[in-house]
Amino acid sequence: MLETTIAGSLPRPDWLAEPEALKGAWKLTGEALEQGKQRAAEQWIRHQERAGIDILTDGEVFRRHFVHTFLEGVDGIDQDTKTVMGIRDNRYDLEVPTVTAALSRPAPIHVDEFRFVRSLTERPLKFTLPGPMTICDTIADAHYGSRADMAMAFADLLNAEAKELVAAGADVIQFDEPAFNVFFDDVNEWGIDALHRAIDGLTCTTAVHICYGYGIEENIRWKASLGDEWRQYERIFPALNASRIDQISLECADSHVPHSVMAILKDKVLMVGAVAVTPDRIETPEEVAATIRSAMDYVDPERILPCTNCGMTPIPYDIALGKLQSLAAGAKIVRDSL
Ligand code: ZN
């Protein structure tokens, strides 16, 4: 009960990549880089085990970016044709690659790195992949003509990748869909259909991570504009509760999300964000325990997985480590009291 997990990403160590950046450049090359990624992943696996996290991830340390690294393995994308695009409904502009032909996946993308991580631990492992809607909000389209059609094409590729990850021993496949918290009508019209296509036939537990984004400046500014009560989740939770996805995440630490929205997800397991992804402060175990107890006003502890609010890529390494330890310690406080 109250098994802990994390949203997915953890900081890459400063000897491997430029720290505290979303797409920080690698500091190594060639074989040294490949060995460095493995060493960084092994260190995070041991940190998670020692902290007492129950469902582990590779920290996504093999990837420079949670969407673009996947896209580098997909054919049909012109990486050199850059299009300036407003991301998350124009919250910020980015130069992104362009889809110029039918999409295909000529070879597995993350399966080798997952096999390596699987060899390191007996504990349950979750593997994260970008969700189809979020991919479509991170790349320009000059081929499909509609985001929904392009999302279905990506969902098929994600499904093939996920099936191979499950065959290699993944216990949970999670799709990251921060865009779900922006395009509410699209989620209801085709976003969940795309997710269903991505999980079709998977024999493992499935999850979707939805959030208010990393603790980067653009997101912090956006969150400040959302008012005292963040009710965005209400627009999509009814359809998600009716979906075939097993686990849904939400931000509960240091956020203005009314905890009553959890009551909508009455048939799901909830990844309850109990540590924020702020770069400057580590929650105490008691604060984590208080957040979990607050969630228990609406959800039985059997359906709660204490979790991080979002990925921790852009925050300092030691802060992320401290947050992991507080997350596990806070969950233990509550577990011991039940
Ligand atoms: Zn997130």
Average pLDDT over the chain reads: 95
The Cα–Cα gap between 61 and 64 comes to 8
Burial class (CB within 10 angstroms; exposed 0-12, middle 13-18, buried 19+) of 245: buried
Alpha carbons 232 and 227: distance in angstroms, whole number: 11
Q: Alpha carbon 288 to chain centroid distance?
A: 20
Across 2-18, average pLDDT: 97
Q: From the CB of residue 322, how many other CB atoms can be counted at a distance below 10 Å?
A: 16
- Report the pLDDT value the prediction gives residue 228, as an integer from 0 to 100: 86
Cα of 31 to ligand 1 centre, how many Å? 31
pLDDT digits (tens, 9 = 90+) for 22-64: 889 999 999 999 999 999 999 999 999 999 999 999 999 999 9
Give ion ligand 1 contacts, CB < 5 A: 211, 310
Predicted confidence at residue 75, as pLDDT, reads 97
Question: Distance from the CA of 121 to the center of ligand 1, in angstroms?
Answer: 25
Instruction: Name the DSSP class of 100.
Output: E
pLDDT of residue 248: 98
Q: Residue 207 has what pLDDT?
A: 98
Question: In which band, very low, low, confident or very high, does the pLDDT at 97 lie, cut at 50, 70 and 90?
Answer: very high
Chain centroid to Cα 169, Å, comes to 19
The whole-number pLDDT of residue 90 equals 85
pLDDT category at 204 given cuts 50, 70, 90 is very high
pLDDT of residue 216: 77
Q: Which of the four pLDDT bands, split at 50, 70 and 90, describes residue 165? A: very high
- Which CATH class name applies to 30-337? alpha beta
* Alpha-carbon distance values, 148 to 144, 162, 244 (Å): 9, 20, 19
| 313-328 pLDDT, tens digit each | 999 999 999 999 999 9
Distance between Cα 310 and ligand 1 center (Å): 4
pLDDT of residue 239: 97
Residue-level pLDDT at 313: 93
More confident of the two residues 90 and 170: 170
226, burial (CB in 10 Å: exposed 0-12, middle 13-18, buried 19+): middle
User: Residue 294: its pLDDT value, please?
Assistant: 96
Question: Distance from the CA of 210 to the center of ligand 1, in angstroms?
Answer: 6
pLDDT confidence of 274, banded at 50, 70, 90?
Answer: very high
Give the CA angle between residues 251, 241, 59 to the nearest 5°: 40
Report how far ligand 1's centroid is from the alpha carbon of 307 (Å).
11
